[in-house]
Structure 1
Amino acid sequence: MKAPIVWVSGTLTAATALVASLVIVTASRGAITTFESSAGPLSVQTVAEDLVHPWGLAFLPDGRMLVTERPGRLRLVTQQGQVSKPLQGVPEVWASGQGGLLDVAADKDIATNRTLYLCYAERDGRGGRTAVARARLTEGDAPRLDDVQVIFRQQGPLSSGNHYGCRIAQDGGGDLFVTLGEHYAHRDQAQNLSNHLGKIVRIAPDGSAPKDNPFAGRDGAKPEVWSLGHRNPQGLAFNPADGSLWEVEHGPRGGDEVNPIRRGENYGWPVIGYGVDYSGAKIHEATTKPGMQQPAKYWVPSISPSGMAFYTGKLFPNWKGSLFVGALSGQMLVRLSLQGDKITGEERLLQALSERIRDVRQGPDGALWLLTDSAAGRILRVTPASE
């Protein structure tokens, strides 16, 4: 097989050294299945498999992928399905409950600065919190992370293992937006500006709080906070059409939400919402309240939305501008039609696949790339069947 083309320090080379460092995970090459959709038949190809609860996926300039596994491993994966050994240098994570190594994001200038960001659960005494680290990707015989620095640590009551949030999105200026859960047992803290629970934060690449953040300089408020009143947001993405920021978050029994995220706004959890507690008990005061934002869409019953991506590619011209959301308990890929900040339609895809969809990305090839959440997780490539 021809050596893959690999990006190193902003250039492309035939990297036989990387091939030597790869463990070839033999994906089910024949596992290409077809599913119906409004865009015609879809082909779903297994690119790689036997990943342990893969959580986050980010593309490099040459088309390779960085993929996290929740137990604490980061791997490089080619589009041909070659999976590297775990990269050295990954921070220690607390892989307990829903925690572990979660999202990964490539810096917008990674072609020149080789910088990436990791979001993960970090142990602190008897509990955990969300942390963000910055690192430099070093290529060679054994790709690794160097210059690893923790740039942000969530402040507030600790988690016993649940609701870390932990998606990263970078804006055009380089600032990072990070979703932070409310740790399940501390849901009322989502309304408390003196900590980071149940918030989306905006930080600079070095972890500092930009001075124009909405609560910077306010007594008793954390300067990193961008928005509040979130439960467990596990999807975050910018809409390329207008630059707006969107998130999806888990409700309890019912009340999963899709929200356009605006500076300084309060999204209501747990004061308002559309779900009930797992026991069936009432949680919310009401479904609406002045000063608190309504979701663009909510689901009852829950589908457990996770990763998300706006589609801009050419493979599915009729789907340009759509928002794709992975569903965990719902075991499907959801396509949402948008008109501005309004959601105008929903299409449920790949339900017969019977897989928990953890992350969704548009690849440089215009395909949709998915991670399935299981102890034998897969990387899937979705294209028109006629491709």
Structure 2
Amino acid sequence: MFIKANQLSCLFLTMAVITCSLFVGSSFSFDSHPLNTSRFSEQYRLVEVSHGFDIPWAMVQLPNQDILVSERRGELRVIRQGQLLKQPISGLPTIDNNGQGGLLDLALDPDFVNNSWLYFTYADGSGPGRGSNTALMRAKLNIATMSLSNQTRLYKGKVNASKGQHYGSRIAFDQKGYVYFSIGDRGSRDENPQNLNNDGGKIYRLHKDGKIPADNPFLNDKGEKSAVFSYGHRNPQGLAFDSSTGVLWSHEHGPKGGDEINVITAGKNYGWPVVSYGVNYSGTSFTELTEKQGMENPVLYWLPSIAPSAMVYVTSDKYPKLKGKFLLGSMKFGYIVAVSINGKTVDQQYKLFNNLGRVRSLMQGVDGFIYVGLDGGGIKKILPINS
């Protein structure tokens, strides 16, 4: 089930109607829509591109159509013409492979053709405290030598944590060239997300070289983190722009229930853990509030949780029925969700494919095709049946 914010009459739908998305005054079934699982599968198929991956956290496709894949355990691998090269990319920093931490998201500079900058997030164990925290780095990629150079760490969450959960982290660029990235609450929900002096539970915005933008919402404000763009997040693992409107969207993991999709606006508080539609994993309650003045409501939330992963906005003409929609993966239920949007609202969602396994990463390549990374299941590509 997914629920549009403030549609409380939908809250207690039974598991029997999980495949039906209901709003007040209207409803539809996946089975009656051309983007439902069975109809979509009649038109498109998943074909294997490469196997041999454990947790393929992120993918990017280079202009030469090589695909870079970040293995969370700390390797940057290359797929070339359907073959996984034995040699990984060298030049990565020391990465803390700890719980949910490791080598995380990848993103190419919007002007990569001319500057070769690769951005990535990772668990960095340097600095004070035991454990690690999420960092953003950029480096020059030389695909001919399979190496990185000119490594510059642009940001690192201060105060390491030995807890192994909620590192985030995704990267997105806007049309002005700013870089955005997320850091989860690092398992300290009562300390980090609502405290603007602490890293964690935040989405950040920087210039591409790591400098702080002059119009960031908390710049030089009472010593608060100047890189912060929004706060009150739990564990944002999807971050993407609607390129037609320039609006930034995110999704984040709730606890038990209450995974969210949010529209991200400068300076806004997204409520975690003061407000939530979820409960503790034990089933006990940690808040009675689902909304509060001064805190943003989610555009959409799920009960039960689907454990969403990567998020991509489709612009490719290869998938006419998906163009202009967001795709995200469900690690819990093993399908892809297509989300239809209208401005800053969600119209509908559609479930694509079934029983894929843990959908960890999604990418729209420079070739226009959509690629899917599966935990323990390799990299696959969505192709029309007749191709």
**TM superposition score category, shorter chain reference:** 0.7 to 0.9
Indicate the SS of the match to 2:192. helix
For 1:226, the equivalent position in structure 2 comes to 229
Q: Name the amino acid aligned to 2:78.
A: L
Counting only pairs closer than 5 Å after superposition, residues 216-255 of structure 1 correspond to structure 2 as 216-255=219-258
Are the equivalent residues in 1 in contact too, given 2:48–2:379 (CA < 8 A)?
yes
TM-score using structure 1 length: 0.87
Gaps of 5+ in 2: 1-36
Supply the distance in 2 between the matched residues of 1:276 and 1:179 (Cα, whole angstroms). Answer: 23
CA deviation after TM superposition for structure 1 residue 384, in Å: 2.0
Supply the distance in 2 between the matched residues of 1:199 and 1:106 (Cα, whole angstroms). Answer: 22
TM-score using structure 2 length: 0.87
Supply the distance in 2 between the matched residues of 1:81 and 1:312 (Cα, whole angstroms). Answer: 27
Are the equivalent residues in 2 in contact too, given 1:54–1:372 (CA < 8 A)?
yes
Which of 291, 296, 302 is the aligned partner of 2:294?
Answer: 291
Which of 172, 178, 191 is the aligned partner of 2:194?
Answer: 191
Q: Does 1:116 align with 2:118?
A: yes
Are the equivalent residues in 2 in contact too, given 1:359–1:371 (CA < 8 A)?
yes
Q: Does 1:50 align with 2:52?
A: yes
Q: Which has the higher strand share?
A: 1
Counting only pairs closer than 5 Å after superposition, residues 135-146 of structure 1 correspond to structure 2 as 135-140=139-144, 142-146=145-149
For 2:378, the equivalent position in structure 1 comes to 378
Dislocated runs of 4+, deviation >6 Å? none
Supply the distance in 2 between the matched residues of 1:318 and 1:70 (Cα, whole angstroms). Answer: 32
What's the CA shift string for 1:187-219, capped at 9, x where partnerless?
A: 442000012210000011222211110110201
Supply the distance in 2 between the matched residues of 1:384 and 1:61 (Cα, whole angstroms). Answer: 23
Counting only pairs closer than 5 Å after superposition, residues 1-387 of structure 1 correspond to structure 2 as 36-38=38-40, 40-124=42-126, 125-140=129-144, 142-156=145-159, 158-353=161-356, 355-374=357-376, 377-387=377-387
Indicate the SS of the match to 2:321. helix
What's the CA shift string for 1:129-159, capped at 9, x where partnerless?
A: 001111001233x310011121111124624
Supply the distance in 1 between the matched residues of 2:380 and 2:302 (Cα, whole angstroms). Answer: 25
Supply the distance in 2 between the matched residues of 1:360 and 1:81 (Cα, whole angstroms). Answer: 19
CA deviation after TM superposition for structure 1 residue 285, in Å: 3.8
CA deviation after TM superposition for structure 1 residue 339, in Å: 1.1
Q: Name the amino acid aligned to 1:131.
A: A
Indicate the SS of the match to 1:346. strand
Deviates further, 148-157 or 206-215: 148-157
Indicate the SS of the match to 2:149. strand
Deviates further, 328-337 or 358-367: 358-367
Q: Name the amino acid aligned to 1:384.
A: P
Indicate the SS of the match to 1:200. strand
Indicate the SS of the match to 1:127. coil
What's the CA shift string for 1:107-139, capped at 9, x where partnerless?
A: 111111111111001114421100111100123
Supply the distance in 1 between the matched residues of 2:190 and 2:134 (Cα, whole angstroms). Answer: 16
Are the equivalent residues in 1 in contact too, given 2:193–2:200 (CA < 8 A)?
yes
CA deviation after TM superposition for structure 1 residue 85, in Å: 1.3
Are the equivalent residues in 1 in contact too, given 2:189–2:234 (CA < 8 A)?
no
Are the equivalent residues in 2 in contact too, given 1:257–1:298 (CA < 8 A)?
yes
Supply the distance in 1 between the matched residues of 2:329 and 2:94 (Cα, whole angstroms). Answer: 27
Supply the distance in 2 between the matched residues of 1:324 and 1:191 (Cα, whole angstroms). Answer: 29
For 2:11, the equivalent position in structure 1 comes to none
Q: Name the amino acid aligned to 1:364.
A: V
Indicate the SS of the match to 2:193. helix
Indicate the SS of the match to 1:352. coil
CA deviation after TM superposition for structure 1 residue 79, in Å: 4.5
Q: For residues 187 and 46 of structure 1, do their structure 2 counterparts lie closer, same or farther at Cα, with a shift above 3 Å needed? A: farther
Indicate the SS of the match to 2:137. strand
Supply the distance in 2 between the matched residues of 1:348 and 1:237 (Cα, whole angstroms). Answer: 19
Supply the distance in 1 between the matched residues of 2:253 and 2:39 (Cα, whole angstroms). Answer: 26
Are the equivalent residues in 1 in contact too, given 2:77–2:85 (CA < 8 A)?
yes
Are the equivalent residues in 2 in contact too, given 1:39–1:318 (CA < 8 A)?
no
Indicate the SS of the match to 1:219. coil
Supply the distance in 1 between the matched residues of 2:378 and 2:67 (Cα, whole angstroms). Answer: 13
State the superposition RMSD in angstroms: 1.6
Supply the distance in 2 between the matched residues of 1:126 and 1:112 (Cα, whole angstroms). Answer: 39
CA deviation after TM superposition for structure 1 residue 251, in Å: 0.3
Q: For residues 351 and 39 of structure 1, do their structure 2 counterparts lie closer, same or farther at Cα, with a shift above 3 Å needed? A: closer
Supply the distance in 1 between the matched residues of 2:124 and 2:105 (Cα, whole angstroms). Answer: 13
Gaps of 5+ in 1: 1-34
- RCO (CA 8 Å, sep 6+): is it higher in 1 or 2? 2
CA deviation after TM superposition for structure 1 residue 166, in Å: 1.3
Q: For residues 86 and 50 of structure 1, do their structure 2 counterparts lie closer, same or farther at Cα, with a shift above 3 Å needed? A: same
Are the equivalent residues in 2 in contact too, given 1:323–1:335 (CA < 8 A)?
yes
CA deviation after TM superposition for structure 1 residue 173, in Å: 2.4
